[in-house]
A and B are shown apart, each in its own frame.
Chain A
Amino acid sequence: MGIISRGFGGRRRESVPGLPPGQYLTHDFPVLSAGPTPRIPLDRWRFTITTETGEKTSWNWTEFQALPAEDFTVDIHCVTKWSKLGTTWRGVSLDTLMENVESAADYSMVHSFGGYTTNVPMEDLLDGKAWVAYKFDGEDLDPEHGGPARLVVPHLYFWKSAKWVNGLQLMDEDEPGFWEAAGYHMYGDPWREQRYQGD
């Protein structure tokens, strides 16, 4: 327990099941990103998986829309302390995307239009744990929330759920992405409060 701040009572609005430690509940949808919102025309959109040997598998928007999609409802947790429960999305499971990709890599670097990157272990992307989503709440995903498509890895802090995603680079060894190189945690488990390096 920390030192007591005299006179602080708190509002106890975070005594909600499903909230990881240090998080508070929000009902709106905050926007956090490092730069201007990229606007990506659908005819220029591509998603490419590059294996550790350099093999590429790629989908354009039309091909991507033809893949089997799933509706899913998940809780999301941002390292800046807000959590949003029961968010509903539609997207393609990483299991579907990886189905015909030959790889033994343990790690991936997620890449975005605009240059953002974040690293996620492969086991955290597979077995129904992650999606490339293009609808939120039944609507096309808004550009400020990462549209046309973003990664959603709900069990990790939300900076891992890269917006404006355009590909995965599969890697044999882990490497820090954008925020990880700036002092944030390499893995980012909200239940273990892995916010910053060394947590």
Chain B
Amino acid sequence: MARTAVSGRLRWRVATLSEARWETSTARTLALDVPDWPGHLPGQHVDVRLTAEDGYSAQRSYSIASAWPHPDGKVELTVQRLDDGEVSPYLTDVVEPGEQVELRGPVGGWFVWRDKQPAPVLLIGGGSGVVPLMAMVRARATAGAKQPFRLIYSVRTPEDVLYADELHRRVRDDAGLDVHFVYTRKTPEGWSSPPKRIDVAALNTYGWPPDFQPDCYVCGPTTFVETAADILVALGHDPRRIRTERFGGTS
């Protein structure tokens, strides 16, 4: 496995919410002003710390959604509300522009895409696992990079698609970017197949063949990532070219 040197101590920074927008009815993008932000690679994450008035605090990790540099100098996180969550409902439903949270990062030197990597890229996202992959799609455009990108995005229903308008626009405008959706519960009107989970056929049809030696990034809930990564290996992809990021638990 390749090594990535990262240096410097990570300190907590005060981030001010500058703008928030709903992506779906349960996911909100927070654009944060973070003074002296050192920049980041797409795929990295941050730790967010919330502190209550009595000093109680809680921390969670969130993938960065935006590329760097960002046109307005912001760092964007897209947070999916977990109904039994402690931190995410605050970030989706409570915090307002002008208010502050603490943030530390960027963190992670493995699940990242660098615009100097020559290989074609296969992104496979399940649910909010698309967030760090979107950072890669955006970084490709920001860098003017030409590596062909394919995103396979598994999502419950059309209403749950994050960044729907932007993805639509990018497929039209970003040459060499393809996006294919897999709907697991409900398909859009006129969709050619019934709802289904990600499978060999989807990865075989819409991914890159293993001969192209793509760099693969798989992010989503644990069972999704296990399934997708196993299929890639079975199709003949080199396990060393498959990077994964899992969230959520298994029982």
Q: Are the C-beta atoms of A7 and B94 separated by less than 8 Å?
A: yes
* Known contacts A7-B90, A31-B250; A22/B8 CB under 8 A: no
Residues on the B chain within 8 Å of A169, using CB: none
CA gap between A29 and B239 in the complex, in Å: 24
- Whether, in the assembled complex, A3 has its beta carbon less than 8 Å from a beta carbon of chain B, the answer is yes
Residues on the B chain within 8 Å of A31, using CB: 222, 226, 246, 249-250
Q: Are the C-beta atoms of B58 and A114 separated by less than 8 Å?
A: no
Residues on the A chain within 8 Å of B9, using CB: 196-199
Residues on the B chain within 8 Å of A183, using CB: 4, 6-7, 10, 107-109
Q: Are the C-beta atoms of A114 and B239 separated by less than 8 Å?
A: yes
Residues on the A chain within 8 Å of B104, using CB: 196
Q: Are the C-beta atoms of A10 and B102 separated by less than 8 Å?
A: no
Q: Are the C-beta atoms of B251 and A29 separated by less than 8 Å?
A: yes
Q: Are the C-beta atoms of A144 and B110 separated by less than 8 Å?
A: no
Q: Are the C-beta atoms of B251 and A28 separated by less than 8 Å?
A: yes
CA gap between A32 and B45 in the complex, in Å: 15
The interface bits of chain A over 1-29 (1 if a CB of B lies within 8 angstroms of the residue's CB, else 0) are: 11111111111111000000010101011
Q: Are the C-beta atoms of A4 and B232 separated by less than 8 Å?
A: no
CA gap between A114 and B59 in the complex, in Å: 31
CA gap between A94 and B9 in the complex, in Å: 33
CA gap between A50 and B207 in the complex, in Å: 41
Q: Are the C-beta atoms of B246 and A32 separated by less than 8 Å?
A: yes
* Chain A contact residue count (CB 8 A cutoff): 45
- Whether, in the assembled complex, B185 has its beta carbon less than 8 Å from a beta carbon of chain A, the answer is no
Residues on the A chain within 8 Å of B240, using CB: 35, 115
Q: Are the C-beta atoms of B226 and A10 separated by less than 8 Å?
A: no
Q: Which of B79-127 contact A (CB under 8 A)?
A: 86, 90, 94-95, 99-102, 104, 107-111
Nearest CB of B to A5, in Å = 4
- Whether, in the assembled complex, B55 has its beta carbon less than 8 Å from a beta carbon of chain A, the answer is yes
| Interface size range on B against A | 35 or more
Q: Are the C-beta atoms of A36 and B3 separated by less than 8 Å?
A: no
Q: Are the C-beta atoms of B50 and A37 separated by less than 8 Å?
A: no
Nearest CB of B to A32, in Å = 6
- Whether, in the assembled complex, B193 has its beta carbon less than 8 Å from a beta carbon of chain A, the answer is no
The interface bits of chain B over 1-25 (1 if a CB of A lies within 8 angstroms of the residue's CB, else 0) are: 1011111111010100000000000
Q: Which residue on B lies nearest to A177, using beta carbons?
A: B3
A29, A32, A117, A182 interface centre (most CB from chain B within 10 Å): A182
- Whether, in the assembled complex, A58 has its beta carbon less than 8 Å from a beta carbon of chain B, the answer is no
Q: Are the C-beta atoms of B60 and A81 separated by less than 8 Å?
A: yes
Residues on the B chain within 8 Å of A196, using CB: 9-10, 104, 107
Q: Which of A138-159 contact B (CB under 8 A)?
A: 144
Q: Are the C-beta atoms of B110 and A182 separated by less than 8 Å?
A: yes
Q: Are the C-beta atoms of A35 and B239 separated by less than 8 Å?
A: yes
Q: Are the C-beta atoms of A34 and B100 separated by less than 8 Å?
A: no
Q: Are the C-beta atoms of A22 and B250 separated by less than 8 Å?
A: no
- Whether, in the assembled complex, A181 has its beta carbon less than 8 Å from a beta carbon of chain B, the answer is yes
- Whether, in the assembled complex, A64 has its beta carbon less than 8 Å from a beta carbon of chain B, the answer is no
Residues on the B chain within 8 Å of A80, using CB: 61
Q: Are the C-beta atoms of A1 and B55 separated by less than 8 Å?
A: yes
Nearest CB of B to A175, in Å = 11
- Whether, in the assembled complex, B196 has its beta carbon less than 8 Å from a beta carbon of chain A, the answer is no
- Whether, in the assembled complex, A121 has its beta carbon less than 8 Å from a beta carbon of chain B, the answer is no
* Known contacts A13-B86, A30-B249; A35/B100 CB under 8 A: no
* Known contacts A8-B50, A182-B6, A183-B109; A29/B250 CB under 8 A: yes
Interface residues of A (CB under 8 A from B): 1-14, 22, 24, 26, 28-38, 80-81, 114-117, 144, 176, 178-179, 181-183, 196-199
Task: Name 11 extra pairs, CB < 8 A, besides A7-B95, A183-B6.
Answer: A5-B50, A5-B51, A8-B50, A29-B249, A30-B222, A35-B242, A37-B229, A114-B239, A181-B3, A183-B108, A197-B10
